[in-house]
Amino acid sequence: MTDDALTAIINLDLPGATISRHVYGHFAEHLGRCIYGGFWVGEDSEIPNEGGIRLDVVEALKALSIPNLRWPGGCFADDYHWRDGIGPREDRPRMVNSHWGDVVEDNSFGTHEFMQLCEMLGADPYVNGNVGSGTVQEMSEWVEYLTRGDESPMATLRRANGRDEPWRVPFFGIGNEAWGCGGNMTADSYAALARQYGTYVRNHGDNVVYKIAAGANVDDYRWTETLMKELNCLGCTRQPAGFFQGLSLHYYTHSGAWETKGSATDFDTDDYYATMRNARRIEELVAGHAAVMDCYDPQRRVGLVVDEWGTWFDVEPGTNPGFLYQQNTLRDALVASVHFDVFHAFADRISMANIAQTVNVLQAMVLTDPDTGALVLTPSYHVFAMNVGHHDASTLAVSLKGELPTREVAGGELSLVSASASTTDTSALVSLSNLDAGHARTIVLDLRGRDVTEFSARVLTAPTLQTHNTPQAPDAVAPAAHDGVRAHARGLEVDLPAHSYVTVSLALA
Ligand code: AHR
C-alpha cells in the first residue's frame, strides 16, 4: 500500500456513544398522499388493509425496523385539534388543511388510527402537539387521553371510544417550526411557551414522555441558544431543567436555493454536485447547534432531534403543488447515506432524526400509485435497509487519510467520499459513500484493535444518478451483494463504484 492510498482508519476496540435507533425515525404528516392513500386507504378499500391501514406499506416499513413515527405534522400539527379525530368517523368534524393543498380534511385518520398504525409497525409513537393554535389544556388532555390508565376524564373518554388500555407515548413534540408555520414567534416568546406547555405534558402512570421543543431552522443558532438558556445557565454543569429533553432542528436539501429547488429526476451533474454539497452541510449545522448546546448542557443530556430532514425538490409535473410528491433517485439515496454518517458521528448529541416523509411526500421510503395502488420502494428506502445494523450499535470514529478526493462546487470544496462505522460485541458495520459521479475508487479499511473473522458487502448503485424505481421497473435501484472486497495487509480493500453506497459487515473475534 502506498502512503497516499485512500484509507479509512477504524479502531474497532474503541467504541463511542450508542447510535440511537431513533435516528432512523420517520415522519408522517397529513400532507398530500402521505396519510390518505399512503398509510390509510379505509376499511372498504380493495387494497389489502387492516382497519383501513395498508398492509403492504406496513410490511415494507417493518423490514426497516422502523423505530418511531412522528405525526400529525409538521405545519399541520399546529392546526390540528385532536378531539376532531376521535369517536365515530361519520361524526368527526371536517377542517381545511390550509398548509397543504387547501383541501378538506375529514379527520378519518385520527388518534386511534395512528396508534393502531404504530402498533402494527412496532414503532414508538412521536405525537406532535399544537402550540400555534391550540391551548395548554388541549395538549395536556391529549397526553392524558393517550397515556392514563385510571378513571380520569380523558381515560374514560378513550374507553368510550373503544380503547381500554392506555397507550405508551414515549415522544411528544411541543409545537412545530414555531419560528414559521407554527405561529411565527420569536425565539423568546416561543421559549416561554415551551416552558409553559411542557409543564402540562405530564407523565401518567409509568409512561415517561421525552418532550421535544420546536427548534431551529437550518443555521439559526440564536434560536437554539435561546431555548437552551431556558434549561440551564451558561457554563453550569447541573442538571438541565426538565421542561423538555430534546430540541429539534430542521434542514432540507435542495439542488439550488429554496426558491429553485430543482427537479427530482431531471438534473445534470452540476445539479447533482450542488445537491450533495447542500446535503453535506448537515455536518456543519449539527456541529454548530451541538456546540451551542454544549455551553448550556456540557453533559449532553438534552438531545438534538433532527426531526425533519431530507431532499425537497419540485413536485412531479402534473401533481398538486401542495402535495409535495417527488420521485426519488440514486441521488436521494446518497443524500441519505451522508446524513447518516453525520448522525453516527454525533451519536453523543443526536437522540433522534426523522426523514421527511415516509410515504408519497418529499424524500419518501415508499411511493404508491394513486390509480393502481402499486407500491414501490425508493432508493432511499434501501439505504435505511442497509443501515439497520447501525441501530443501537456503538459509533466508531473513522479517520480518512491519503488522497481524499474533492471537487470544487459553488466556490467551496465537496469531499467525495463519506464514511462511518459502528460496532456491537461481535460485529461491525462500515458505511462508505462514493459521491463521485464519474469515477470508481478503492479504499483501504485499516482495521485496528480486533480480529475480523468474516466479511461481506452490499452495494447500492445504478447506471445513472437519475435512475429511480417505478411500478414497471421496481428494482432499477436495489442493493446487491458486492464482491469488490478483498483482504489487505491492513484489513480490507473495498472497491467503490462511481456514485455508489457500499456497506461492509464484519464478524469480530
Ligand atoms: O415536511 C414538510 C413541511 O416542512 C413540514 O410540514 C414543516 O414542518 C416543514 O416546513
pLDDT digits (tens, 9 = 90+) for 408-420: 998 899 999 999 9
Angle, CA 107 vertex, CA 101 and CA 110 arms, to 5°? 120
More confident residue, 410 or 313: 313
User: How many A from CA of 128 to the centre of ligand 1?
Assistant: 12
Find out whether the beta carbon of 356 lies less than 6 Å from any atom of ligand 1: yes
Q: How many domains does the chain have?
A: 2
Could you identify the atom of ligand 1 that is nearest to the CA of residue 27?
Answer: 1
Q: Give the atom of ligand 1 at the shortest distance from the alpha carbon of 73.
A: 6
Question: Closest residue (by CA) to atom 4 of ligand 1?
Answer: 74
* Residue 1 is assigned to a structural domain of this protein: no
> 436 and 375, same structural domain?
no
Query: Which positions ≥6 away from 159 have C-beta within 8 Å?
Result: none
C-alpha torsion 358→364→370→372, nearest 10: -100
Domain of 28?
A: 21-392
- Under 8 Å CB-to-CB from 52, ≥6 apart: which residues? 40, 41, 42, 43, 45, 108, 109, 113
Task: Pull the grid cell for residue 28.
Answer: 408522517
307 lines ligand 1 (CB under 6 A): no
Query: What pLDDT was estimated at residue 410?
Result: 87
Ligand 1 mean position to 250 CA, how many Å? 9
| Shared domain check, 330 and 318 | yes
The reply to whether 26 and 137 lie within a common domain is yes
Residues 400 and 385 occupy one common structural domain: no
Are residues 331 and 209 both part of a single domain?
A: yes
Catalytic residue among 29, 141, 308, 493: 308
Helices then strands, counting H and E runs in the chain, come out as 9, 27
CA 99 – ligand 1 centroid, Å: 9
Query: Each residue of 352-388: pLDDT tens digit?
Result: 999 999 999 999 999 999 999 999 999 999 999 999 9
Q: Which atom of ligand 1 sits closest to the CA of residue 176? A: 8
Q: Looking at the domain assignment, is residue 2 inside a domain?
A: no
Which SS3 state, helix, strand or coil, does residue 486 take? strand
- Indicate if 325 and 422 belong to the same structural domain: no
Residue 145 alpha carbon to ligand 1 centre in Å:
26
| Ligand 1 pocket mutation pick from 177, 355, 358 by most atoms within 8 angstroms of CB | 177
- CB of residue 32 inside a 6 A radius of ligand 1: no
**For range 423-431, the mean pLDDT:** 97
Distance 381 CA to ligand 1 centre (A): 20
Closest Cα to atom 9 of ligand 1: 74
Instruction: Decide if 360 is inside a domain.
Output: yes
What is this structure's pTM? Answer: 0.96
Residue where a domain terminates, one of 343, 375, 392: 392
Task: pLDDT band for 2, please (50, 70, 90 cuts).
Answer: low
Q: What is the mean pLDDT of residues 431-435?
A: 98
Write the pLDDT tens digit of every residue in 113-133: 999 999 999 999 999 999 999
**Where does a domain end: 392, 424, 447?**
392
**CB distance 74 to ligand 1 below 6 Å:** yes
The answer as to whether 290 is a domain residue is yes
Mark whether 134 and 82 lie in a shared domain.
yes
The pLDDT score that the predictor gives to residue 260 is 84
> Do both 252 and 354 map to the same domain?
yes
Q: What is the reported pLDDT for 3?
A: 67
Residue 177 Cβ < 6 Å to ligand 1? yes
Instruction: Give how far the C-alpha of residue 284 lies from the chain's centroid of Cα atoms, to the nearest Å.
Output: 18
Distance CA 310, CA 256 (A): 14
- pLDDT confidence tier of residue 259, bands split at 50, 70 and 90: confident
> Would the CB of 29 count as within 6 Å of ligand 1?
yes
Q: How far is the CA of 219 from the centre of ligand 1 (A)?
A: 16
Assign residue 227 the CATH number of its domain.
Answer: 3.20.20.80
CA–centroid distance, 309 to ligand 1, in Å, is 9
pLDDT band at 84, cuts 50/70/90?
very high
Q: Going by CA atoms, what residue is nearest to atom 3 of ligand 1?
A: 74
Tell me: do 105 and 228 sit in the same domain. Answer: yes
Residue 489 lies in a domain: yes
The verdict on 382 and 412 lying in the same domain is no
Q: Is residue 65 part of a domain?
A: yes
Residue 358 in contact with ligand 1 by CB distance below 6 A:
no
Residue 413 lies in a domain: yes
Q: Is the CB of 176 inside a 6 Å radius of any atom of ligand 1?
A: yes
Q: Which of 250, 355, 361 to mutate to test the pocket of ligand 1 (most atoms within 8 A of CB)?
A: 250
Q: Establish whether residue 290 lines the binding site of ligand 1, counting it when its CB lies within 6 angstroms of any ligand atom.
A: no
User: Residue whose CA is closest, atom 6 of ligand 1?
Assistant: 74
Cα Rg of the chain, angstroms:
23
Q: Is 402 found in the same domain as 384?
A: no
d(C-alpha 272, C-alpha 254), whole Å: 10
Q: Indicate if 144 belongs to the active site.
A: no
Q: Mean pLDDT in the chain?
A: 97
**Structural domain ending residue among the three candidates 340, 363, 392:** 392
Active site residue 119: no
The alpha carbon of 75 and the centre of ligand 1 are apart by a number of angstroms equal to: 6
Question: Quick one: CA torsion of 34, 157, 162, 142, rounded to 10 degrees?
Answer: 30
Q: Is residue 123 part of a domain?
A: yes
CATH number, domain containing residue 414: 2.60.40.1180
Q: Using one digit for the tens of pLDDT, what is the confidence trace for 195-243?
A: 999 999 999 999 999 999 999 999 999 999 999 999 999 988 778 999 9
Q: Is the pLDDT of residue 1 over 70?
A: no
Catalytic-role residue among 177, 259, 316, 403: 177
Regarding whether 416 and 380 lie in a shared domain, the answer is: no
